Amino acid sequence: MTASRAMARTNPGLSAGEVAERVARGEVNDVPVRSSRSTADIVRGNVFTRFNAIIGVLFLIILVVGPIQDGLFGFVIVANTAIGIVQELRAKKTLDSLAVIGEAKPTVRRDGAAVQIPTSRIVLGDLVELGPGDKCVVDGRVAEADGLEIDESLLTGEADPVLKRPGDPVLSGSFVVAGGGAFTATKVGREAYAAQLAEEASRFTLVHSELRSGISQILKYVTWMMIPTAIGLIISQFVVEGDDWRESVRRMVAGIVPMVPEGLVLLTSVAFAIGVIRLGRKQCLVQELPAIEGLARVDVVCLDKTGTLTEGGMDVTELRPLNGSEEERLRRVLGVLGAADPRPNASLQAIVDACPDGHPDWGCTDTLPFSSARKYSGATVTGPDPGGRAGSATWLLGAPDVLLPDGDPALAGIEELNARGLRVLLLARSDRELGDPRVAEEVRAAALVVLEQRLRPDAGDTLRYFAEQNVDAKVISGDNAVSVGAVATKLGLPGAERPVDARRLPAERGEMATALEGGAVFGRVTPRQKRDMVGALQSRGHNVAMTGDGVNDVLALKDADIGVSMGSGSEATRAVAQIVLLDNSFAALPSVVAEGRRVIGNIERVANLFLVKTVYSVLLALLVVCSRVEYPFLPRHLTLLSTLTIGVPAFFLALAPNRERARPHFVRRVMRYAVPAGLIAGAATFAAYLLARNHYSGDESLEAETSAATLTLFLVSLWVLAIVARPYTWWRVALVLTMALGFVVVLITPWLQDFFALKLIGTTMPWTAVGIAVLAGLGLEVAWRRFAAEGGEPAP
C-alpha cells in the first residue's frame, strides 16, 4: 500500500458541518473570475469613445442649425455603436458559458470522500488532493506527499521542480509535475496569490495586438490632423458665408465629420467578437481575443504527439520477457506498479487494464512517480521471489533507451517496433534503493511492454491544411524519435521519415534553430528543451504556436507566441494557453487560423476604405481653406457617400472569408495605398467642383456645383471600393453594383433628390464629372499596381 493511501484513511478532510461553519464566516475562495468585460464596461467602452464625443458634439450642433437630414451621420453613429454593443454582448455570453465548461474543478477530501468542486467553493482548511498536471488553486501547506514534485516556474521563473514534503508551503499558481499528495488550504479568496493569477489566466484580455495597436496609431495621427484643419475650415466658412452663419456651420460640420474613421474601430471589435462566437460554437475557447490574430500570423506550429496527433488511450499489444524472466511474475509486478499510481497516465493505464492488480501476496512499500524529466517511474515491490520466498525488489518502468546503455542486447528489436509506430517501455530491476539518485544505473532488463497508440482520425487532414497554408509543422515529443516519426509518417507529415533525437541537438541557440528548420520530427525532448526550441525558432523571426496537453508542455506553451491547450489537458496547460480546444479536437486549429486570417485580412481591406475617406476629407478641407470658397458638401452628402461606398460594403467585406496569411507592418502597408488614393480622390473632386463653379450660375448654381462634385467623389470612391473588393466573386461584384444602383436611385427619385439636395443640371458638367472620375480611376489603378509591386497586395 502506498504512503498516500495510508494517509488518506487517517486524514478524512473537513466534515460537512465544518465546511458550513467556514462558509458562514466567509472563509471561502470567492474570488470573482471574470471571463469577459462586464455589461457596464461593454456599454461604456462602445459609447464613451473619443470619436463618439466628437461626432456627438457635431450632431448636437446640426440639431440646432438644422435641417435634420444633415444630422444623419449622428444616427449612423448610434446604429454603429448599438451594433458594437450587441455583438460584444453576444461574444460575452459565448465566452462566459465556455469559461464555465473549461473551468477546472479541483478535488477536495470531505468526510473521507474525494469530491470535485468549483474553485470558488474551496474553504479555509480544505484538504485539496493533487496529482500530475493539477494546478494549486489556493495557498496551503503540504499534508500528504507521495513523491510530490511541484513546478513553481510560473511564480519564480525557475523551471526545476521542487520536491515537497509534509509541512512545506504550496503557492497557488504552481502545478504538479510528478507524484501526488494533498495540501491544506491556508489562504483562500483575495488573500491567496491565486487572486491575481486567476484574474490574469481567466480574463479574456486585450493584450498586444498589431492590428489594434496599428489602428490606435492611425487614429492618433487623424486626431492631430483634425484639429488645425477644423480650425481653418471654421474660420474660412464664416468669412465666405458672411452673415449666413447657419450655412457656414453646416458646411464646417460637413468638412470635419468625414475625417473621423469611427467605423474602423467598430468593425475591428465586431470582427473579433464574431470570430470568438464562431470559434465558440466549435468548442474552441479563446482566452485572449488577439490570440485569433496571433495564430493567423503563425508560420511554425509545434505539436506534441500525445493528445494531439494521437488519442489519449493506448493498448498493450505484447509483453516480451527478457533474460529468462517469467511472464506471469512480470504481470504481477506490472499490476503492482499500475495500482501504485492513483492517477496513471495513458501508458500506465493501458498496463493497468492489461495487468490488473489484486493478488494478496503482492504489494509495494514505496513509489517513484513518473517524471517527464526522468522518463521513468518506479516502485519497491513486495512479493515472492522465483523460489517462493517473500522479499522486496526495486523495479523501474520507462524508456528503454534512457534506462539502458547504447548497444545493450535488449535494445535489439526496439528500433523495428518503433519504426512501426509502436511505443515500447522497459520493465527493469535495480539493485539500488528507490531513493538512490543512481537507481537507474546498471539495471537488469526484465521485459519490453509494447503499446499501440490510437491515431486521431482528423490529424492527417489538419497537417495537410498547414502544409497548404505554408505553415511548417514540427512534432516535438518526449517519446522515442523513431516511434514518433513513424506516427507522423502515417499521417503524411513531410520530412517525418527523418526523425531527430533531441538529445543530439546542439545547445547553442543559432545551431539549434538551423537544425529545427531542417527537421520535422524530434523525439526524446525534455520540457526545458521544448522551451529552448520555441525560443530558437523565435530567434529566426518565426511566429511560433505550441500545442500540448501535458505538464511537460507548460513552459513551451507559456513562451510560444500562441499556446494551444487541449480541454482534457492539465489545469496548468489550460491556465497558460491563449486558446483551449474544449472538445480536444486538433481539427479545430484550421478553423482558428482561418478565423484569424479572415479578421486581419478583411480589416486591412476596409481600413483602406476608411482612410482614403480621411485623406480626401483633409485635402478637400485644406483646399477650401486656401481657395476661400464654400465647402462643396453638406453633411447629408457625405453621409450618403460614406454609407454606399464605405459603411455598408465594409461590414460585408469585414466578415467575408479570407485565407491570406497575415503580414507585419499593418500601418505602413495600409497608408501606402490610402494616402495616394485619398489625394487622387480629393484632387479630382475639387477639380470637378471648381469647373462646376465656373460653369453654373443662377439660383440653383450651388446645388448644381455640389451635385457635380458629389457625382465625381462617388464614382472615385466606388472605384476604390471595386479595387479593395478584389479578387472578385459573384457576391463582391453584386455588392459593388448594388451600391452603384443605390446612388442611381437617389439621383432619379424626386423626393430623394430633395432630401439629399442633389440635382444634376444639364449634360455638359455631369459628363465632365464622369470624365474626371475616369481619369482619377486610372490614377487609382496605377497607385494600386505600384502598391502591389511593393508587396502590399497581389495585383488583380
Contact 721, 753 (CB under 8 A): no
DSSP letter for each residue of 448-475: EEEEEEEEPTTHHHHHHHHHHTT-EEEE
- When pLDDT is averaged across residues 440-457 and rounded to a whole number, the result is 85
Contact 638, 575 (CB under 8 A): no
Distance CA 753, CA 537 (A): 61
Average pLDDT, the chain: 81
Distance CA 38, CA 496 (A): 47
CATH number attached to the domain at 3-30+108-202: 2.70.150.10
Judge whether residue 722 has pLDDT over 90.
Answer: yes
Query: Hey, what's the torsion of the CAs at 682, 685, 687, 691, to 10 degrees?
Result: -160
Between 121 and 173, whose confidence is greater?
A: 121
Q: Which region among 452-456, 735-739, 787-791 has the lowest average model confidence (pLDDT)?
A: 787-791
Judge whether residue 157 has pLDDT over 70.
Answer: no
What does the pLDDT read at residue 9?
44
Half-sphere exposure of 718 (CA within 13 A, CB side): 24
What does the pLDDT read at residue 795?
38
pLDDT confidence tier of residue 732, bands split at 50, 70 and 90 = very high
What does the pLDDT read at residue 384?
81
The cell 461626432 sits on which residue? 55
The cell 534506462 sits on which residue? 403
Report pLDDT digits (tens) over 369-423.
777 667 888 888 888 877 667 778 899 998 888 888 888 888 877 888 877 778 8
Q: Which region among 164-168, 218-222, 501-505 has the lowest average model confidence (pLDDT)?
A: 218-222
Among 217-226, 275-284, 628-637, 719-728, the range of highest mean pLDDT: 719-728
Q: What angle do CA 59, 63, 65 make, to 5 degrees?
A: 115
Residue 625: count of CB within 10 angstroms of its CB: 21
Distance CA 599, CA 586 (A): 21
Element (H, E) at 397: strand 390-398
Element (H, E) at 566: strand 562-566
What does the pLDDT read at residue 183?
94
What does the pLDDT read at residue 276?
76
User: 277 CB contacts (<8 Å, ≥6 apart)?
Assistant: 90, 91, 94
Closest by CA to 71, choosing from 219, 257, 220, is 257
Distance CA 176, CA 161 (A): 8
Element (H, E) at 311: strand 310-321
Report pLDDT digits (tens) over 493-519.
888 888 999 888 888 888 899 999 988
pLDDT confidence tier of residue 771, bands split at 50, 70 and 90 = very high
What does the pLDDT read at residue 87?
65
Distance CA 789, CA 783 (A): 10
Report pLDDT digits (tens) over 288-299.
666 777 777 888
Distance CA 549, CA 579 (A): 12
Judge residue 470's burial from the number of C-beta atoms within 10 Å of its C-beta, 0-12 exposed, 13-18 middle, 19 or more buried: exposed
pLDDT confidence tier of residue 99, bands split at 50, 70 and 90 = low
User: 32 CB contacts (<8 Å, ≥6 apart)?
Assistant: none
3-state secondary structure of 162: strand
pLDDT confidence tier of residue 214, bands split at 50, 70 and 90 = confident
Pull the grid cell for residue 582: 474544449
User: 67 CB contacts (<8 Å, ≥6 apart)?
Assistant: none
Contact 576, 554 (CB under 8 A): yes
3-state secondary structure of 358: coil
- pTM of the entire structure? 0.64
Closest by CA to 392, choosing from 369, 364, 368, is 364
Query: Hey, what's the torsion of the CAs at 573, 575, 579, 582, to 10 degrees?
Result: 70
Report pLDDT digits (tens) over 581-608.
877 777 778 877 778 778 788 888 888 8
What does the pLDDT read at residue 208?
56
pLDDT confidence tier of residue 155, bands split at 50, 70 and 90 = low
User: 479 CB contacts (<8 Å, ≥6 apart)?
Assistant: 305, 306, 399, 423, 523, 524
Residues labelled catalytic: 304
Closest by CA to 471, choosing from 544, 561, 380, is 544
What does the pLDDT read at residue 702?
75
Q: What is the amino acid identity at position 755?
A: F
Judge whether residue 537 has pLDDT over 90.
Answer: yes
Judge whether residue 719 has pLDDT over 90.
Answer: yes
Half-sphere exposure of 330 (CA within 13 A, CB side): 22
Between 464 and 358, whose confidence is greater?
A: 464
Contact 705, 643 (CB under 8 A): no
316-449 architecture in CATH? 3-Layer(aba) Sandwich (3.40)
At the fourth CATH level, the homologous superfamily of domain 284-309+456-584 is HAD superfamily/HAD-like (3.40.50.1000)
Judge whether residue 198 has pLDDT over 50.
Answer: no
User: What residues does 162 pair with on adjacent strands?
Assistant: 150
Contact 473, 519 (CB under 8 A): no
Measured on CA atoms in the order 42, 44, 46, 49, is the torsion positive or negative? negative
Q: Are strands 579-581 and 284-286 parallel, antiparallel or unpaired?
A: antiparallel
Task: Give the largest Cα separation in the chain, rounded.
Answer: 122
What does the pLDDT read at residue 737?
95
Closest by CA to 342, choosing from 132, 133, 142, 163, is 132
CATH number attached to the domain at 65-91+214-278+593-789: 1.20.1110.10
3-state secondary structure of 427: strand
Q: Tell me the residue ranges of DSSP E strands in 60-163.
A: 107-110, 113-116, 127-130, 139-151, 162-163
Q: Which region among 191-195, 287-291, 512-516, 737-741 has the lowest average model confidence (pLDDT)?
A: 191-195
User: What residues does 381 pair with on adjacent strands?
Assistant: 364, 393
DSSP state of 74: H
Judge whether residue 3 has pLDDT over 60.
Answer: no
For the chain, domain boundaries: 3-30+108-202, 65-91+214-278+593-789, 284-309+456-584, 316-449
DSSP letter for each residue of 241-271: HTT-HHHHHHHHHHHHGGG--HHHHHHHHHH
Q: Which region among 60-69, 396-405, 444-453, 530-539 has the lowest average model confidence (pLDDT)?
A: 60-69
